[in-house]
Amino acid sequence: MATKRKLTEDVTVEGGELDTSNHAHIIPLGAGSEVGRSCIIFKYQDKTVMFDCGIHPAFKGMDSLPLLDTIDIDTVDVALITHFHLDHCAAVPYLLRKTRFKGRIFMTHPTKAIYYSLLRDLAKGAKHSSDEALFNEDDLDASMERIEVVDFYQTIEVAGMQITPYRAGHVIGAAMFLVEVAGLRCLYTGDYSRLPDRHLPAADIPPVTPHIVIVESTYGTSRHLPRQQREQLLLDTIRTTLNRGGRVLMPVVALGRAQELLLLLDEFWEAHKGELGGIPIYQASSMMSKALGVYQTYVESLNDDIKRVFHDRNPFKFRHVQTLKSPAHFISDYSGPCVIMATPSGLQSGASRDFFEAWCEDARNTCIICDFAVQGTLAKEILGGPTSITTREGRRVPLRMSVHNISFSAHADFEQTSTFLDTVRPPHVVLVHGEYNEMRKLAKALKDGAKAAGVAREVYTPVLEQTVAIQHTPDRSVRLQGRLGEKPPREGAVVRGVLVRQAGGFSQQLLHPDDLPAYTKLLKGRVTQRQALSVGVPFSVIRLALEVMFEGVEGAGTLPVTSVAGAAGKGGEVLAVVVGDTVTVRYVPADDAAGVDSHVVLEWEGGRQGDMVADAVIAVVLQTAGEPPAAASAESAMLAARAAGDEAAASAAELHLIAALLRSQYGPAAVDEARGVINLTVDGAAAVVDHREGKVLCGEAGLRGRIEKSLDRLAAAIRPVAVDRPQR
């Protein structure tokens, strides 16, 4: 009796296996109802994509990894990494070196550059930590060899899928990826922001409508304060703290928001030098300093405002910001007011934790959480208003410093997400990278908004390892255009043409090659291939060898040497034959004065058939050229004997010539001149050519037939050789 099994969030099937042929599957291996270790699997039509592969900032070692064992990792065709933040990319070396992943992996140019610097610092830090290391520097270096780069708006094809990155606006180089499989379009936003800031443009709106959008839900239904209001609130909070002699700690991610905030503070300090000029701003991260070179290199990824500033000066060479090289000495030696940016943003370790524990008991000081605080981190804990915290040594100490949450996080809030989805209008939305309750509040708000607007929209909120299955009929249609479309094909008929994919309009067209200029920007052309081969035998020997191998070897007479690229010959002409109406073989004699050896030039029209015939011709010519003494001397002897009327000598020389030509095609060929036979050995099988009796003796009928055909082709060129073929 069939039983119902709940296999996915939205599909119930009876008994047996789930039919995947018409369903796209989305499986969070990380970032499913959580923020951290982003890793989303998208499967459709036997194609598998991994979006991001990061670690969880609140966990350590293997516990921080995505749940990679949930799937057959060797079935993943491609991994697409949206940006360089650790929760999106830091598991990549582990993926590439310590799993069975065999697919390709792509990032944008800035992402790859910063990925290496960030993860190198992480690998170095792991050497001096008791925590379990996920990878080392060798693993990181090896990963760089496999990572491929892609530009924004560049469509690449991988395993039959079309993949296009668009700007995500989150950090420099951050990308949204649009993947199309069999007509199904899936957009993965990664972390994105639709609001431009001081240095980055807003996220793009893709030019096509996706069927599925996998979108971050970090801020749920929360709304960011307007940018100017946030900036003023931050500056007022800092100024108030400094005026009372306090110190300001701003835990940040090394790249992204740090540069945005440093631009703001440097500009404010420059405008208020009289008041603030003596108060230092420090960045306590070497990675922040390294970022300067990256921002200069990839300035074209920044927004128009910052590009204009670059014409006058590099805005990332800050006038009022210093790099703090020794946080420990600074904590013990400095007691005046200051502003310090330190990593990590979650206060779970590193310099930011050192400063926090040193300053948290002083009520004059302030900690400003500027980024999203992940559940399980100290940053999230102190936003709850505790009166004390536990240090890393396990001591309980009072929390007297002020704690403010002024978000400059470049994640989309509710307003951005709802407006973005209303614009791209996907029928299916999958929420990821959000905490459980916030995701569900956002899902309800998006559903209510779509219902009020009369828009069909399904919203899914999967937890870790939960599969969302979305039904979609694959598009395998193609439009016949031009002369192919003038007469509808019969049912079951084969239609041949050029398959063209274009953005917009019909996704696929089948065209006659001559119609390409009328319907596309493509032009039909022909490629003429030429190859020269040095030979040390007369052309007559080469022609004989070709006639042994091929039917349809026709003489082309003599042609002017000007028709042969780089050819030089005596008398201004060359000998030529045409093989199979496809490959022309021209012979150019040696020219000692010009320093040119004798050679043949092959010429053919590029294409599958021409290339195949040309390869075979080249093989015959090279083999024949490798037997110059036997073939050339035998031919000369045969011609001389015939001219002298010595038939016995001509027959013996003919026997050696035939043996040389058969040797070039079949392999070892021994001449028994006394008996007038040639003994061949072909792949272990023996054959005897009886020249006097005109017979081929061989126990294998197939081989005997091949040799007989070769002798037939030689007959017209040398002299008729009678072949006694047994009855079949």
Query: What pLDDT does residue 286 have?
Result: 75
SS3 content of the chain, % helix, strand, coil (to 5): 35, 25, 40
Q: Do 201 and 296 lie in a common domain?
A: no
With cut-offs at 50, 70 and 90, classify the pLDDT of residue 502. low
Which of 249, 247, 241, 246 shows the shortest CA–CA distance to 342? 249
Q: Do 456 and 371 lie in a common domain?
A: no
Q: Which two tokens stand for residue 250?
A: 């701003």
| 3-class DSSP state of 688 | strand
Q: Do 541 and 515 lie in a common domain?
A: no
Q: Do 282 and 217 lie in a common domain?
A: no
Query: Higher pLDDT residue, 17 or 304?
Result: 304
Pairing of strands 468-471, 508-511: unpaired
Mark which of 626, 653, 674 sits at the end of a domain. 626
Q: Are 406 and 230 in contact (CB under 8 A)?
A: yes
* pLDDT one-digit tens code per residue, 356-391: 999 999 999 999 999 888 888 999 999 999 999 999
pLDDT at residue 521 is higher than 90 = no
Q: Do 132 and 268 lie in a common domain?
A: no
Percent of the chain with pLDDT over 70: 88
Q: Are 155 and 164 in contact (CB under 8 A)?
A: yes
Q: Give the range of the structural domain holding residue 508, as residue numbers without chain letter.
A: 479-519
Cα separation, 79 vs 66, in Å, equals: 14
* pLDDT one-digit tens code per residue, 390-422: 999 999 999 999 999 998 888 999 999 999 999
Q: How far is CA 169 from the centre of its chain?
A: 21
| 3-class DSSP state of 113 | helix
Query: What pLDDT does residue 720 have?
Result: 41
Please give the average per-residue pLDDT across 584-592, as a whole number. Answer: 88
CATH number where 341 lies = 3.40.50.10890
Within-domain flag for 341: yes
Q: Do 212 and 233 lie in a common domain?
A: no
Based on the residue annotation, tell me whether 272 is a catalytic residue of this protein: no
pLDDT at residue 728 is higher than 80 = no
pLDDT at residue 508 is higher than 80 = no
* pLDDT one-digit tens code per residue, 221-265: 999 999 899 999 999 999 999 999 999 999 998 887 888 899 999
Query: What pLDDT does residue 329 have?
Result: 84
- Say which of 411, 428, 472, 512 is annotated catalytic: 411
The answer to whether the predicted template modeling score (pTM) of the entire model surpasses 0.75 is no
Cα separation, 295 vs 310, in Å, equals: 11
Query: What pLDDT does residue 560 have?
Result: 45
Cα separation, 284 vs 343, in Å, equals: 7
pLDDT at residue 591 is higher than 90 = no
The number of C-alpha atoms within 13 Å of 302 and in the hemisphere containing its C-beta is 21
Q: Do 276 and 388 lie in a common domain?
A: yes
Cα separation, 404 vs 433, in Å, equals: 24
CA dihedral sign, ordered 659, 661, 663, 665:
negative
- Average pLDDT for the chain: 85
Q: Where are the beta strands (DSSP E) in 325-443?
A: 338-342, 366-369, 388-390, 396-398, 402-405, 428-432
pLDDT at residue 4 is higher than 70 = no
Minimum mean pLDDT range among 161-170, 307-316, 497-506: 497-506
pLDDT at residue 495 is higher than 80 = yes
pLDDT at residue 505 is higher than 60 = no
* pLDDT one-digit tens code per residue, 697-724: 888 888 888 788 777 766 655 654 333 4
Within-domain flag for 594: yes
Element (H, E) at 379: helix 378-382
Within-domain flag for 5: no
Q: Do 54 and 159 lie in a common domain?
A: yes
Within-domain flag for 659: yes
Number of domains in the chain: 5
The CA-atom distances, in angstroms, between 673 and each of 181, 509, 677, 689 are 68, 65, 7, 12
Within-domain flag for 144: yes
Residues 6+ apart with CB under 8 A from 451: none
Minimum mean pLDDT range among 74-88, 284-298, 600-614: 284-298
Query: What pLDDT does residue 107 have?
Result: 97
Query: What pLDDT does residue 155 have?
Result: 94
Kindly write down the DSSP assignment for every residue of 126-185, as one continuous string. HHT-SSPPS--HHHHHHHHHHEEE--TT--EEETTEEEEEEE-SSSTT-EEEEEEETTEE
pLDDT at residue 109 is higher than 80 = yes
Within-domain flag for 635: no
Minimum mean pLDDT range among 170-179, 316-325, 469-478, 497-506: 497-506
Element (H, E) at 564: none
* pLDDT one-digit tens code per residue, 305-358: 888 887 778 888 888 998 888 888 888 888 889 999 998 889 988 899 999 999
Query: Higher pLDDT residue, 130 or 421?
Result: 421
Q: Do 27 and 152 lie in a common domain?
A: yes
Cα separation, 423 vs 420, in Å, equals: 5
CA dihedral sign, ordered 118, 123, 129, 131:
positive
Within-domain flag for 724: no
| 3-class DSSP state of 534 | strand
Sheet strand arrangement including 669-672: 669-672, 677-682, 685-690, 695-698
Cα separation, 671 vs 683, in Å, equals: 18
pLDDT at residue 439 is higher than 70 = yes
Cα separation, 547 vs 706, in Å, equals: 13
Within-domain flag for 720: no
Q: Do 132 and 260 lie in a common domain?
A: no
Query: What pLDDT does residue 274 have?
Result: 87
CA dihedral sign, ordered 490, 493, 495, 500:
positive
pLDDT at residue 33 is higher than 60 = yes
With cut-offs at 50, 70 and 90, classify the pLDDT of residue 632. low
Q: Where are the beta strands (DSSP E) in 4-90?
A: 4-6, 12-14, 23-30, 39-44, 47-51, 78-80
pLDDT at residue 97 is higher than 90 = yes
Which of 661, 680, 677 shows the shortest CA–CA distance to 548? 661
Q: Do 197 and 65 lie in a common domain?
A: yes
Cα separation, 305 vs 198, in Å, equals: 7
Q: Do 601 and 680 lie in a common domain?
A: no
Query: What pLDDT does residue 567 have?
Result: 40
* pLDDT one-digit tens code per residue, 192-218: 999 988 888 999 999 999 999 999 999
